[in-house]
Amino acid sequence: MAEAEQPNSELEAVLQELAEPQGFDGIEERMAAIAPQLQELLDGALSAGGWFDDAHEGMVLKTATQPDADQRIDEVRNFVLEQTRLGMLVGVAVGWELAERLEARRADAQ
């Protein structure tokens, strides 16, 4: 069980570091260099996962054509929140996989 706890404690430590005010210093430069590739990768992952299929389009249409203006605004807000969460979760999964593969390559190179 100690082995399972170690990665979790490391993850918690890194999450705490990132929560600090300077936790993301320098990330803008690194992201600007790879943003187009990451965006393409994320779009591909979302599409491959079926996130933008007919059901998604149906929700877009239902939300956009809600006859009651107040209800439509609430549904748009909820839809944007759901899409943001989904994008973030898939983005984290993609980032995690990238990190693991980079780590594996570095280990193989040694």
Give per-residue pLDDT as tens, 2-57.
444 566 888 899 889 989 988 888 888 888 888 889 889 888 888 888 888 888 88
Report yes or no on 17 lying in a domain: no
pLDDT tens per residue across span 54-95:
888 898 999 999 999 999 999 999 999 998 998 899 888 888
Report yes or no on 16 lying in a domain: no
Residues contacting 71, CB < 8 A, separation 6+: none
Domain carrying residue 76: 26-109
Report yes or no on 70 lying in a domain: yes
Q: How far apart are CA 108 and CA 110, in angstroms?
A: 6
